[in-house]
Chains A and B, each alone.
Chain A
Amino acid sequence: MEIKTMENIDDLIKKIQPYFSELSVGDFMSSPVVTVQENQTILQAKELMRSWRISGLPVVDERGKLKGIISIEDIIHALESGTLGLLVSEKMSRNVVYLFKYDKIMDAFKKFELYGYGRFPVIDEIDHRVIGIVTKQDLMLALLKKLSILYVHDSRREEFVGVDIYRSIPKNLKIERTEFEFQIDYKDLSLSGTGASELKKFLIARNFSPKFVKRIAIATYEAETNVVIHSNSTGRIKAYIEPEFVEVRVNDNGKGIENIETAMRDGYSTAPDYVREYGFGAGMGLSNMKKCADRMIILSSKGNGVFVEMHFWRHEDEN
């Protein structure tokens, strides 16, 4: 399972890497980094790995300069041969593949692909001191952050959320047939909810059960209202009927969400007072959406608008 997951990530990274070409290793490496000195014992290296829960350590000299790398395999080997008391320098791999801070994310990706190692130390160009480390996880997190995948919710497959979300991304780049489309008029607060009402009628006309449709309409209403209240920009609702589920996408070109964790909190709202007087801005919008949608992805970054994708599967009592 673990391995399968990693393969998926590799595929995905390949697909999306052109969008991240400007990212440098220094932007996403883990730093400071846990290292072991070449004159420490393998036993000490083992303890370091155990307490930090890591499976490899860069080996450095007294000035912090990279000398080698010691991995869990080396430790196992030392355990088997009863040589835990030897110095790290006697067991470490000396042909270390490393990265520089200014290497691009593509370089890092290529090294992962070429060598199959789990981690690469990052060293200073001039004095070769170890200044960071990049694992596959760091790489993935960097991509996530760049995409600004702010919030992901999947009631059906919580445990796979970290990987599964990618499936939606490349799809967005394709041209698809839109089943339902509505332009959101952000200038008129009183029109908010029109799109959701229209979508409700559209789905009822296609014989979806009222209960199922209501769930979709509520979530869409909240997303639509968010566009009207917060984005100060044009927006669009699109809905697609898939054999197994209904997909709704709501996007705008506004100022974006800065901090999604805060935004997700019940009762948190940045709505202006005049909007609140109308009963909006109670800070329940996102949590209503989360409650209604079986799966929800929000992509946003400051200044780049908000993209919401929600999937709705018919529940047993909704046929």
Chain B
Amino acid sequence: MKIDVLSELGFEMIVKGEGEIFHGYACDLLSEVMGNAKPDTVWFTVQSHVNIIAVAVITGIRAIVLCNGHDYGEETIEKAKKEGIALFKTRLNTFEAVKKICNVAQNEIQG
């Protein structure tokens, strides 16, 4: 699934990204994400601080969807641009946000 599709699903794009995503992961504990997220993943979380970009860079996460109406800090946005990580946000909670992706791309996105 192309990263752009996330916008079409109603997630608000904060930092544009390119490429495809094949996996999804939902968790707020960084070590868990670190240890388990696959490359080319879209990550659903409520963490918005700048470390999430480091986690994304290291694991190969390409896009982050910030749930529950949280906002990214300026520093996080700057870092994401620099590292080429796509940022989105939504008012939905994590479960609802994941469901949204499943509705349109259940077979394209794996855990």
Contact = CB atoms under 8 A, between A and B. Distances in A.
B interface majority secondary structure:
helix
A283 B32 CA distance: 10
B58 A279 contact: no
A218 B34 contact: yes
Nearest to A191: B50
Interface string A166-206: 00000000000000000000000111111011001000000
Given A190-B50, A192-B51, A284-B35, A279 B59 contact: no
B32 A284 contact: yes
Interface in A221-265: 221-222, 225
A278 interface: yes
A210 B54 CA distance: 16
B34 A197 contact: no
Question: Interface size bucket, A side?
Answer: 20 to 34
Contacts of A278: 30, 47, 49, 51
B58 A282 contact: no
Contacts of A210: 39, 60
Interface string B32-73: 101100010000010101111111011110000000000000
Nearest to B50: A190
A92 to B, nearest CB: 59
Contacts of B51: 189-190, 192-193, 278-280
B31 interface: yes
B59 A280 contact: no
A107 B111 CA distance: 61
A288 B39 contact: no
A282 B30 contact: yes
A291 interface: yes
Nearest to A286: B31
A84 B57 CA distance: 73
B21 to A, nearest CB: 16
B68 to A, nearest CB: 14
A285 interface: yes
B47 A192 contact: no
B75 interface: yes
Contacts of B83: 197
A289 B59 CA distance: 14
B59 A194 contact: no
Nearest to A201: B57
A284 B29 CA distance: 9
B28 interface: yes
A282 B52 CA distance: 15
> Which of A189, A279, A283, A285 has the largest number of chain B CB atoms within 10 A?
A279
B58 A280 contact: no
A197 B35 contact: no
B76 to A, nearest CB: 9
Contact of B35 (A192, A194, A225, A291): A291
B54 A197 contact: yes
Given A194-B54, A217-B58, A279-B30, 9 more contacts: A193-B51, A193-B53, A193-B54, A193-B58, A210-B39, A222-B34, A278-B51, A280-B51, A285-B31
Interface of A: 189-194, 196-197, 200, 210, 214, 217-218, 221-222, 225, 278-280, 282-285, 287-288, 291
Instruction: List the 9 closest pairs (A to B, CB-CB), nearest first.
Output: A193-B54, A284-B31, A282-B29, A217-B58, A190-B50, A288-B35, A279-B30, A279-B47, A197-B57
28 contacts: A189-B51, A190-B50, A190-B51, A191-B50, A193-B51, A193-B53, A196-B58, A210-B60, A214-B59, A217-B58, A218-B34, A218-B59, A221-B34, A221-B55, A221-B58, A222-B31, A222-B34, A225-B30, A278-B30, A278-B51, A279-B29, A282-B32, A284-B32, A284-B35, A285-B31, A288-B31, A288-B34, A288-B35
